[in-house]
Amino acid sequence: MKISRISLWSLGLTSHEAYHMSEGKTCDTVKTHILSLETDTGLKGWGEVCPIPHYLPAFADGVPSALTEMAPELLGQTPLGVDSLMHRLDNYLLGHSYAKSLVDMALWDLFGKAVDQPLYALLGGRMQADMPLYHSITCIAPDDMARIAREAYGTGIRQFQVKLGADQDWQADAERLIKVREAVGEGPLVYGDWNCGATKLQATRTGRAVANLDIMLEQPCKTLEDCAAVRQATGLPMKIDENAFDIASLVRAAELGVLDAVALKLSKFGGLSAMRRARDLTVHLGAEICAECTWGSDIVTAAALHFAASTPPNALLNTCDLSSYVGPRVAPDCPTRKNGRIAPPEGPGLGVSPDLDLLGSPLLELA
C-alpha cells in the first residue's frame, strides 16, 4: 500500500458566539484545513488543523505551502509505520509542527483502517469508556460568564475554563473567577486562563484576590519563568499551555514547579506521534493532561478523543469537543457530549467520515 494522492480543503468555522481572549485575540470565523491522504488501494486517511490567528507560531495559509513542500516525501511511501515517516518529514522540513500535525493525523487514520482497528487501540489501548470534558467560557462580563457556567453545569459539565484578560483589568478577572465559582458551587474544577496575556503583577493580584477559593491558574504570562513567579506568589496550582510544545519545554516546566497540569495540543506538538511521547513523559512527571488541539471541527476532535481514551485515567484531567463550539459540523458521525463526558468514535482509524458535499472542491491536489 502506497500513498498515491494528497488532497487539501479549506473551510471557515464560525463560533456559535464570538470567543474573546486576552490581548484582543478572538475566535469568530477561523480557517481550518482538512487533508486526505489516499492510497493505491483506495483507503483514505483524514487530518485537520485549525490555527487561531495571532495565538501560536502557526499560520493557516502556510498549510498548503508546507504540504506542497512535504508532498515528495509522502507520495509513494507506505503509511504503515507512522513514526518512521514523520521522522523523515522532520528531517526534510524543519519546524512547522502545525502543518505536520494534520499529516500525522491522516497517517494514523490510514494505519487504523489498514489494520481494521480504532485509533485508541494503536495509541496504547482504551483505558476508559468515556472522558470528562471542560467547558471554555469566553471572556465577557462576569455575570454573563457565570450564566454560561450555570448552563454548562446543567448539562453535566464539571470543569470550567474561565478566559481572562480581555479588558486588562485584574479586578474584573478576579470577579469573573469568583462569580463562576459561586455559580457552579464547590467541587467542580475552575481555572482562569490568560493565554499569556497578563503581566506577573496583574496575574499575582488576581490570584491573591481568589486565593481563598479552589481555583487553578492557566498560563498567565508569556514565559515559564514568569508563570513560576506567579505560582510562587499566589500559592495556586498552575496549568501550562502555550509554553508546552515539546519534550524540552515539559521538562523545563517541571523543573520550575509549574507543571501541575498541561494542555497537550496536537498542532503544537506536530501530531499524535509526538503527543504519545509527550504523554509518556507527562505521566512520568506526575502532571495531569488536557488532551485537545488549538481549534477545529470533528476530525481534530476525533483524534483528540482517541488520544484521551488511551491516556491513563489518573493522568487525564479532561478533553475537549472542539466541534461543539463551531459550525458547520464537518463529520456528522462524530460523537457529541453527554452528561459532561464524551466517548471516542467507533470504527477503524479515526472513525469519522467528512461530508464531501460540504467540503466541495479541493484547494490543492497532488499526485
For 341, phi then psi, to 5°, come to -135, 170
What is the structure's pLDDT at 24?
A: 77
Q: pLDDT tens for residues 99-156?
A: 999 999 999 999 999 999 999 999 999 999 999 999 999 999 999 999 999 999 999 9
**Nearest C-alpha neighbor of 25 from the set 144, 174, 223, 164:** 164
Catalytic residues: 163, 265
Residues 6+ apart with CB under 8 A from 365: 5, 6, 7, 8
Statement: residue 27 has pLDDT above 80? no
CB under 8 Å to 144, separation ≥6 — which residues?
Answer: none
**Amino acid identity at 58:** A
The two beta strands, 26-39 and 44-49, are: antiparallel
- In single-letter form, the type of residue at position 61 comes to D
199 grid coordinates: 503581566
Identify the burial level of 72 via C-beta atoms within 10 angstroms of its C-beta, where 0-12 means exposed, 13-18 middle and 19 or more buried. exposed
Q: pTM (2 decimals)?
A: 0.96
Q: Crossing angle, helix 298-309 and helix 97-115, to 10 degrees?
A: 70
- CA distance linking residue 189 with residue 187, whole number of Å: 6
Average pLDDT, the chain: 96
The cell for 225 is 519563568
Report which of residues 90 and 21 the model is more confident about: 90
Q: Using 50, 70 and 90 to split pLDDT, how confident is the model at 26?
A: confident
Q: Is residue 173 within 8 Å of 137, Cβ to Cβ?
A: no
What is the mean predicted confidence (pLDDT) over 181-193?
98
Distance between CA atoms of residues 203 and 212, nearest Å:
15
φ and ψ of 345, to 5 deg: -65, 155
pLDDT over 70 percentage in the chain:
100
User: Looking at residue 76, what is its pLDDT?
Assistant: 97
Beta bridge partners of 262: 240, 289
